[in-house]
Amino acid sequence: MCGIIGYVGNKKASPILFEGLKKLEYRGYDSAGICTISENKTLVEKDIGKLDEIKKKVDFNSLKGNIGLSHCRWATHGKVTKENAHPHFDCKNRISIVHNGIIENFQELKDYLIKKDHKFRSGTDTEVIAHLIEENYKGNIENAVRNSLKKIEGSYSLGVMCLDEPDKLIATRNESPLIIGLGKDENFIASDVPAILKHTNKVIYLENHEIAVLTKNDVKIKLDKKKIKKTIHKIDWDSELAEKTGYKHFMLKEIHEQPRAITETLNGRLDHGGVDFRKELKFSEKYLKNLDRIIIVACGTSWHAALAGEFMLEELAKIPVEVEYASEFRYRRPIIDKNTLVIAISQSGETADTLAAIREAKNRNAKILSIVNSKGSSIARESDSVLYTYAGPEIGVASTKAFTTQLIVLYLFTLLMSSVRKSLKKDVMKGLIENLRKIPLEMEAMLNDTKSIKKIAEIYKEKDHALFLGRGVNFPLALEGALKLKEVSYIHAEGYPAAEMKHGPIALIDKKMPVMVIATKDVYTYKKVLGNIQEVKARGGIVIAIATEGDKQIGKISDCVIYIPKTLYILSSILAVVPMQLLAYYVARDRKLDPDKPRNLSKSVTVE
């Protein structure tokens, strides 16, 4: 959703805020703005468009002052206009606000404030907060914010500044993420870690209803007026991970980072011929052994990883698994008992629906295991146990390295469950681990040769529609391939289980339709998939197959083949997704689109 960064310190605020916004732009890029305080004046520049476009129109650098707030917007209330861009102000431009979230009772508050003669300049829900604080301001901005929050319903993370107290930033949140960054003679607020990583790696995670008061030398966190002690977390991400380091786009960089991300996700977790989660997993062996069901909740790409996880867990650990869209699960009355484990998968750890789903499950006494990338995020904090993916910050809006590292953690957890439940023989387990260890190198080799994918991207460049087919563990991959293509290239794409095609989608196939088929070798469905390819060819479709190295047969019946290294069937999806990610990237590039900032999307969906 939207991105917030605030600064108070000795340095000029506006360049720091601009740099920080660039790191948060994945959260929203409809419009952006910065405000500072200098010489008893509130200074502001804002406009519509992406940051680089805005920079050509306005002079952010002209904003003097050592304190400021900034925001990049993903519109919820009010169209994309300059007036609706943040920051927003009270009637006299003394109180400045940046906000992420949705104020549900904004109309009621607006009517009340209009009666009190407040003058509104935008169509946003946010502006009511500025006027409400103005209404409550009696010489103490902290108290004015606290009293205003009592009237506000909805989700928010807020940064507030007041001209009458020009050395202070106020920050607070409810159901929307906000962190405090602690520097030397400077402090920060931000929606996410990458925004401040260049300046500090010391972070406090603000919880719902806490109010932070920041000056350059001090940070106080209060709950109900009482000062509280908070843990300071050290972020071990290298600030370079939040830079493009020579790549044109974050998406391409993050695709190429996957071998490293997988290696780090495996690091220290494979031991003594098995999986070692002793330092992380807070569940006893007895608890895991007695489980009779697992429910996995997630959204989007993470949901696709969950579907692959279902296949792994049922196939190897022999435990029943159900996969649910978090947004659906949260509004059902799911049947859960103490022997049901709920697993939540989320890159950001802040997705509102996934967070709500785990709360629903907790209310029903389920234990929660989360698979999360962002350390200290809300989902991680609210889970009974967390298994992190060590992908590093994912900045491209389309999820890539988070997906493959999620698959790795699911595979590791499957191996652990298999050993607890004694569902696999020792030598089988050994083979599964040996093949897993080879994945980073195999992926590296694939990424070193992308010529054929660039050529295939040319086929897609002019197309309006595309189909992706897969079976078994590779069916979720067909969904993921279609999602990647549609979100960054705007080509309408559908993913289907290959055999299901006959029940409808086959009607779409003609000589213009590219059909990507994941046809890696396995003992289960390979031959059936070959049959599905013939069905597509018989109707004139263009078949692009993803196949196992050395498979000559597939070349005879497909228009193009992308080969992936030979690996175990269950691991093949981790490799086979790479060409699909690259395809989506190159098609977007060839269509002159920005794959890092696809239209209408935001990376972290923190509203319902």
Length of the chain: 608
Catalytic residue annotation: 2, 603
Q: Whose Cβ is closer to ligand F6R: residue 27's or residue 46's?
A: 27
Helix, strand, or coil (residue 32): strand
Q: Which of 448, 295, 267, 280 is nearest to 372 (CA)?
A: 280
Which DSSP helix (H) or strand (E) runs through 538? helix 526-538
Residue type at position 497 = P
Contact track, ligand F6R, 467-486, x by CB under 6 A: ----------------x---
Q: Whose Cβ is closer to ligand F6R: residue 63's or residue 255's?
A: 255
Q: Indicate whether 301 belongs to the interface with ligand F6R (CB under 6 A).
A: yes
Minimum distance from residue 175 beta carbon to ligand F6R (Å): 15
Please identify which residue in 125, 175, 487, 522 interacts with ligand F6R, judged by CB under 6 A.
487
CB atoms closer than 10 angstroms to residue 433: 18
Please identify which residue in 5, 32, 242, 299 interacts with ligand F6R, judged by CB under 6 A.
299
DSSP 245: T
* DSSP H stretches of helix in 159-216: none
Beta bridge partners of 385: 369
Taking contact as CB under 6 A, which single stretch among the options 18-26, 247-255, 293-301, 554-562 is the one that binds ligand F6R?
293-301
Taking contact as CB under 6 A, which single stretch among the options 33-41, 294-302, 316-324, 469-477 is the one that binds ligand F6R?
294-302
Q: Indicate whether 300 belongs to the interface with ligand F6R (CB under 6 A).
A: yes
Q: Whose Cβ is closer to ligand F6R: residue 378's or residue 414's?
A: 378
> Is the previous residue joined to 87 through a cis bond, with omega within 30 degrees of 0?
yes
Which tokens belong to 245?
Answer: 């380091």
Question: How far apart are the C-alpha atoms of 543 and 586, rounded to whole Å?
Answer: 18
Minimum distance from residue 27 beta carbon to ligand F6R (Å): 11
Q: Indicate whether 605 belongs to the interface with ligand F6R (CB under 6 A).
A: yes
Minimum distance from residue 395 beta carbon to ligand F6R (Å): 11
Angle 411-413-414 from CA coordinates, rounded to 5°: 60
Q: Whose Cβ is closer to ligand F6R: residue 349's or residue 472's?
A: 349
Q: Whose Cβ is closer to ligand F6R: residue 66's or residue 302's?
A: 302
Residues 307/475, Cβ–Cβ less than 8 Å: yes
**Span 57-86, contacts to ligand F6R by CB under 6 A:** none
* Radius of gyration, alpha carbons of the chain: 25
Residue type at position 439 = I
DSSP states of 77-143: SS-S-TTTSSPEE-TTS-EEEEEEEEETTHHHHHHHHHHTT----SS-STHHHHHHHHHH-SS-HHH
Q: Whose Cβ is closer to ligand F6R: residue 3's or residue 541's?
A: 3
Minimum distance from residue 75 beta carbon to ligand F6R (Å): 17
Helix, strand, or coil (residue 303): helix
Minimum distance from residue 376 beta carbon to ligand F6R (Å): 14
Q: Indicate whether 258 belongs to the interface with ligand F6R (CB under 6 A).
A: no
Q: Indicate whether 404 belongs to the interface with ligand F6R (CB under 6 A).
A: no
Taking contact as CB under 6 A, which single stretch among the options 104-112, 154-162, 297-305, 307-315 is the one that binds ligand F6R?
297-305
Strand ordering across the sheet containing 293-298: 321-325, 293-298, 340-346, 367-372, 385-388
Which DSSP helix (H) or strand (E) runs through 415? helix 401-420
Which tokens belong to 376?
Answer: 């200290």
Taking contact as CB under 6 A, which single stretch among the options 48-56, 115-123, 201-209, 299-307 is the one that binds ligand F6R?
299-307
**Span 382-401, contacts to ligand F6R by CB under 6 A:** 398-399
Residues 392/241, Cβ–Cβ less than 8 Å: yes
Minimum distance from residue 487 beta carbon to ligand F6R (Å): 6
Query: Residues binding ligand F6R: what is the number (CB under 6 A)?
Result: 14
DSSP 383: S
**Span 329-358, contacts to ligand F6R by CB under 6 A:** 346-348, 351, 354
Minimum distance from residue 38 beta carbon to ligand F6R (Å): 37
Q: Indicate whether 42 belongs to the interface with ligand F6R (CB under 6 A).
A: no
Which tokens belong to 187?
Answer: 């402090």
Please identify which residue in 302, 450, 489, 567 interacts with ligand F6R, judged by CB under 6 A.
302
Minimum distance from residue 336 beta carbon to ligand F6R (Å): 21
**Which single residue brings its beta carbon nearest to ligand F6R?**
300
Question: How far apart are the C-alpha atoms of 404 and 470, rounded to whole Å?
Answer: 17
Q: Indicate whether 405 belongs to the interface with ligand F6R (CB under 6 A).
A: no
Minimum distance from residue 489 beta carbon to ligand F6R (Å): 12
Residues forming contacts to ligand F6R in the complex (CB under 6 A) are: 299-302, 346-348, 351, 354, 398-399, 483, 487, 605
